[in-house]
Structure 1
Amino acid sequence: MDLDFTDEQRAFTEALTDFAKREAGTRQLRDTLTGGGQHSHHQGLYQKMADLGWLGVSIPEDRGGAGGGMVDTCLFLEHTAYGMLPIGGFATSAIVAGAVQRFGSAAQQETVLGGVAAGRTYSIAMSEPEAGSDVANLSCRAVAGPDGSYVLNGQKTWCSNAHFADAILLVARTGGSPGDHDGLTMLLVPTDAAGLRISGIDTMGGREVNDLYFTDCTVPADAVVGAVDQGWWQLMAGLNLERLILAALMLGTARRTFDDTLAYVRERKQFGRPIGSFQVLRHRIADLATEIACCGLLVYRTAELVDRDPSRVLPRESSMVKLKTTEVAKEVALAGMQMMGGYGYATEYDMERHVRATLISTVYGGTSEIQRDIIGKTYGL
């Protein structure tokens, strides 16, 4: 793919870069925004970006957005990740917006799509203690009442951003038994709903994910997104979006990690010269740079395919881009820590944060093992 972006896209990324330098360009600024790295999202900063019209990059114009495509979304994700802007709520919000745009009612689209553009955040809940990679095994149940409302009971886990989201796109079982693909339904659940308890899970990355406990939590009939019992197939239709979002984020993180490493090996001296001048490190830098360049081509080639036909599901391409980019980002971060020695492990530098962010990227959104399995199946294996 020719990565010759339009003048408008280049101006957009330049504006994002300038904003990131101004708002989060130093370690001190980032620590202030994130509580020393404990929080992935700063709503005040997020609102500034909403006011600039940036959060609606892929939201249709009639819903308050800019009407951009997947290439534009990937540019936004890559450059905000590179700038280390703490807007962790955007990725899950964009995934929810995509599902609502494809399957939601006009009222849901107005609320959610307009909400994303205006700076509100959303979360999505699929995983359960016994249903991680095997999503079809979920058992959290939504039972329809005589008035059409649904009563929710069960547990979700590893739910990113639920603790500050306005609402959660819940995938619950409305029919069938655990293991069945049919019988799953998407419902929008406000985070302040009675009967919902959100409990944070302590992780290496600070406060990011949560357990959700539903106890006779009631939502109205119009909470259903799309068709009842068709949630699995609706999830499959969103694979392009979810996996590209995660890949674009890790592309930006990989680039930032590489640049931080490069700056260090150019300046750090041992045996009378910069350590980057030694062949062993110089060749490692060359290999990492090449891998990142390949990831960029893969991300934007896949994004271009999505923009050509947004209704087309790309299981092979979306799994490839997620697998390759997250694994490369992890490789770059671990190599960066190794090249920086003890300083790469110290919290004084950003490298240890890069390591934490990239390690988990090969797990969420479908592990690398699951992506490999999907790719293999597309070849008839």
Structure 2
Amino acid sequence: MPIDLTDEQRAFERGVEEFCRREAGTREQRGTEPHHPGIYRKMADLGWLAAPIPEEFGGAGGGMVDTCLFLETTARMQAPIGGFTTSIIVAAAYERFGSPDQKKLVLGGVATGSVEAIAMSEPGAGSDVAAMTCRAEPTDGGYLINGQKTWCSNAHLAERILLVARTSGGAGDHNGITMFCVPADAAGLRIHPIDTMGGREVNDLYFTDCFVPGHAVVGRVDHGWHQLMAGLNAERLILAAVMLGTARRAFDDTVTYVSQRHQFGRPVGSFQALRHRIADLATDIECSRLLVYNTAGLVDRDPGTVLRREASMAKLKATETAKRVALEGMQMMGGYGYSTEFDMERLVRASLVSTVYGGTSEIQREIIGRTYGL
């Protein structure tokens, strides 16, 4: 590892690997969807989902390095626990800004296996989050929500939606945005699946006079934008760690294949054209690991600091690397890389979208550039 791991962390990593190999080692065990409730429940029972949750809410109190280690390992072993990614992103927001009751409900729920989702994007507001128009209007005892959200990951699995809606101002105004805790079964909320090549992952959310009480506000009214910005470290590192594990799995599968596949009387990996590509991919993966874990270590040393440059670099490098490794792997495996008999086609699908969600690669480059005063 590019950082020093404790004996406890190494044992944790081995335990997760062994579990995944036993419980999710075949395509039949993993199934076809990104999230397997049975495997997720077993991990919750083992206490692993509680790793990043504070002890006072039933967690293990682990840091960002622990979280990244778990995410990288489960992604590398292809454990189908897609709901965990959004759940810990949401948990981090509640940990910072939630009321005591909200923290107990959400953080305690994640520790025991609940799935959480967050709704920000809209048909006309993607990278430009401030363009949102979904509105929460004050009413007696609470708010009435009307509007649409889209690309909401895991909403169909979630117990609650962390909704980011406009409470004042107009489209383009960074002020006037508020976070709300909305039960997934709330009256006036309809969750509709969006078909994708990755399976059932994302959803449209339609709010029609959906009422939430005043205590559903998470943090402060009209301060949602600043609250979102405070969570950038966690969100981008979480996504980076998942894609680091995905890149490692694609690389390992590629090396295995080119070592075993013979053409012209020898393994295809022994040809310079492929051997040099493998060397480049290995170097990119190691660069990604150094960047992800160095940034995670910085977060653990000072959790309150927003690392705009480093977190964006980690997300950019890890996702672009995962996409490159998977596509190169498919190319080197030839037709077998395209076949569902092998896992490479699934890794390609998973990595392609990673450069879009959680802030596109173009947005990450913009953020990085601006940190240099450009």
- TM-score band w.r.t. shorter chain: over 0.9
**What does 1:52-91 correspond to in 2, within 5 Å?**
52-91=46-85
Give the aligned partner of residue 24 of structure 1.
24
Instruction: Report whether the alignment pairs 1:196 with 2:189.
Output: yes
CA distance in 2, matches of 1:27, 1:207: 17
TM-superposed CA distance for 1:28, in Å, is 2.4
**What does 1:1-381 correspond to in 2, within 5 Å?**
3-30=3-30, 34=31, 37=32, 39-147=33-141, 149-381=142-374
Matched residue SS, 1:5: coil
> TM-score, normalising length from structure 2?
0.99
Amino acid paired to 1:193: A
TM-superposed CA distance for 1:77, in Å, is 0.2
CA distance in 1, matches of 2:98, 2:132: 22
TM-superposed CA distance for 1:27, in Å, is 2.3
Q: Which runs of 5+ in 1 are unaligned?
A: none
Matched residue SS, 1:131: coil
Per-residue CA shift, 1:193-216, capped at 9, x if unaligned? 000000000001011000000000
Does the aligned pair in 1 maintain the 2:2–2:289 contact within 8 Å?
Answer: no
Runs of 4+ in 1 over 4 A off after TM superposition: none
CA distance in 2, matches of 1:265, 1:28: 25
Matched residue SS, 1:158: coil
Does the aligned pair in 1 maintain the 2:2–2:293 contact within 8 Å?
Answer: no
Amino acid paired to 2:90: V
Matched residue SS, 1:92: helix
Amino acid paired to 1:92: T
TM-superposed CA distance for 1:109, in Å, is 0.3
CA distance in 1, matches of 2:79, 2:247: 15
TM-superposed CA distance for 1:130, in Å, is 0.3
Does the aligned pair in 1 maintain the 2:180–2:217 contact within 8 Å?
Answer: yes
Does the aligned pair in 1 maintain the 2:58–2:111 contact within 8 Å?
Answer: yes
CA distance in 1, matches of 2:170, 2:227: 18
CA distance in 2, matches of 1:221, 1:28: 46
Per-residue CA shift, 1:55-113, capped at 9, x if unaligned? 01110111000000000000000000011111000010001100000000000000000
CA distance in 2, matches of 1:341, 1:57: 40
Per-residue CA shift, 1:250-303, capped at 9, x if unaligned? 000000000000000000000010000001101110110111011000000000
Amino acid paired to 1:27: R
Does the aligned pair in 1 maintain the 2:161–2:182 contact within 8 Å?
Answer: yes
Count of residue correspondences: 374
CA distance in 2, matches of 1:118, 1:2: 31
TM-superposed CA distance for 1:3, in Å, is 1.5
Per-residue CA shift, 1:133-189, capped at 9, x if unaligned? 000000000011132x11000000000000010000000000010100000000010
Amino acid paired to 1:182: N
Matched residue SS, 1:343: helix
TM-superposed CA distance for 1:348, in Å, is 1.1
Amino acid paired to 1:28: E
CA distance in 2, matches of 1:135, 1:27: 37
TM-superposed CA distance for 1:2, in Å, is 5.0
